[in-house]
Amino acid sequence: MVKTELSPSPNGSKRIIYFDYLRIAAICTVVILHVAAQNLRAVDIASSTWTTFNIYDSLMRWGVPIFIMISGALFLSRKQSIKKIYKKNITKILVLIIFWTLFYNIWQLTFSDTVFTFRVFLTNLASGPYYLWFLYTLIGLYMVAPLLQQLIKNKKITEYFLKLSFIIAFLVPELIEIISLKSELIASLIENKVLLLRIPMMLGFTHYYVLGYYLNRYNIKRRTEIMFYATGILGILFTIIATTLSSLSKGDLVTFFYDNLTVNVAMTSIAVFIYFKKHFGNNPPSHKKHLLLLSRCSLGVYLVHVIILETMDSVFNINSLSFDPVVSVPILSLLILLLSYAISIILYKIPLVGKWIV
Beta bridge partners of 6: 218
End-to-end CA distance of the chain: 37
Cβ neighbours of residue 164 under 8 Å, at least 6 residues apart?
Answer: 202
pLDDT of residue 53: 98
pLDDT tens digits for 157-182? 999 999 999 998 999 899 999 998 88
Report yes or no: 57 and 37 within 8 Å, Cβ to Cβ: yes
What percent of the chain stands above pLDDT 70? Answer: 90
Residue type, 42: A
Ramachandran region, residue 198 (left: φ > 0; alpha: ψ -120 to 50; beta: rest): left
**What is the spatial distance between Cα 297 and Cα 293, in angstroms, rounded to a whole number?**
6
pLDDT tens digits for 293-351? 999 999 999 999 999 999 999 889 999 999 999 999 999 999 999 999 999 999 999 99
Specify the DSSP element, H or E, that contains 4.
Answer: strand 4-6
Report yes or no: 98 and 136 within 8 Å, Cβ to Cβ: no
pLDDT of residue 36: 97
Residue type, 18: Y
pLDDT of residue 355: 87
pLDDT of residue 192: 80
Report yes or no: 161 and 151 within 8 Å, Cβ to Cβ: yes
Ranges of residues in the chain whose predicted pLDDT is under 70: 1-13, 112-116, 120, 124, 196, 198-202, 283-284
Single pTM value for the model: 0.92
User: Looking at beta carbons, which pairs linking 130-138 to residues 24 or more positions away fall under 8 Å?
Assistant: 131/34, 131/302, 131/306, 132/97, 132/100, 132/101, 132/104, 134/64, 134/67, 134/302, 135/93, 135/96, 135/97, 136/97, 137/68, 137/204, 137/205, 138/68, 138/71, 138/93
pLDDT of residue 116: 65
pLDDT of residue 322: 96
pLDDT of residue 9: 46
Report yes or no: 160 and 168 within 8 Å, Cβ to Cβ: no
